[in-house]
Amino acid sequence: MNDVVRKDILAVLNGLAGILEVKEEKDIIEIKNLSDRVIHNASIFQDEYSVSVAIFVYSLSKIIERMYSQLDYKKLIGMVKKTADFLQQNDEKNFGDSIKEIFRFISSMDSKVKKYVGEVITQAQIKKGSKLYAHGISAARAAEVLGISQWELLNYIGNTTMMDRFEDNVGIKKRLANARVLFAK
């Protein structure tokens, strides 16, 4: 694993543990922001670890949003810290296994939750795929990295306004001046 990625994921996991220490409603927003931080590395390095952590963290924010009172924060904090410890020790196998264990823990809370977690994970993959796409990664590559179909990703991107938010920062006069400079040589 790339050292920059490892350090950033460690910071995110430690930040997540810190957020979970005190149960507050603002936790959801802070956790989603952590997920966006990791997806930036995923767009640069396109590594499975950043993608996995981004999906895990985002999924957790959605599950907390819906099951706030039912979630055992203390056990979750312990699991997140254990995951961070494995990463700190460069134990990638146990790191990956630990993330899977967290998903199993959340799923085991209720039989209905298992189906819901699956849906949340799929939606998180699609949402994070759109973030990769917004960072300049092709839709095909973003879908491949996340293990989703291009159809799912493009359907989501087409139904959002994320690509409509960018303003044209360079006016026509400036573009024309730039073109004249290029062709004057």
Dihedrals φ, ψ of 109, to 5°?
-65, -30
7-11, 72-76, 91-95, 104-108, range with the lowest pLDDT:
104-108
Provide the residue range defining the domain that includes 10: 3-184
> Count of domains in the chain?
1
Quote the mean pLDDT of the chain.
79
What is the torsion angle, in degrees rounded to the nearest 10, for the CA atoms of residue 48, residue 50, residue 56 and residue 60?
Answer: -170
The string of pLDDT tens digits covering residues 94-133 is 998 998 888 787 767 655 556 655 666 677 777 778 888 8
Q: For position 98, what pLDDT does the model report?
A: 92
Q: For position 169, what pLDDT does the model report?
A: 65
Give residue 46's pLDDT band: very low, low, confident or very high (50, 70, 90): low
The structure tokens listed for 51 are 């993608």
The string of pLDDT tens digits covering residues 50-67 is 777 877 787 788 777 877
Q: What is the DSSP string of 61-89?
A: HHHHHHHTTTS-HHHHHHHHHHHHHHHHT
Q: What is the DSSP string of 105-134?
A: HHHHT-HHHHHHHHHHHHHHHHHHHHHHHH
Give residue 42's pLDDT band: very low, low, confident or very high (50, 70, 90): low
Give helix 73-88 / helix 3-21 axis angle, nearest 10°: 160
CA separation (Å) from 60 to 66, 94, 102, 130?
10, 20, 10, 18
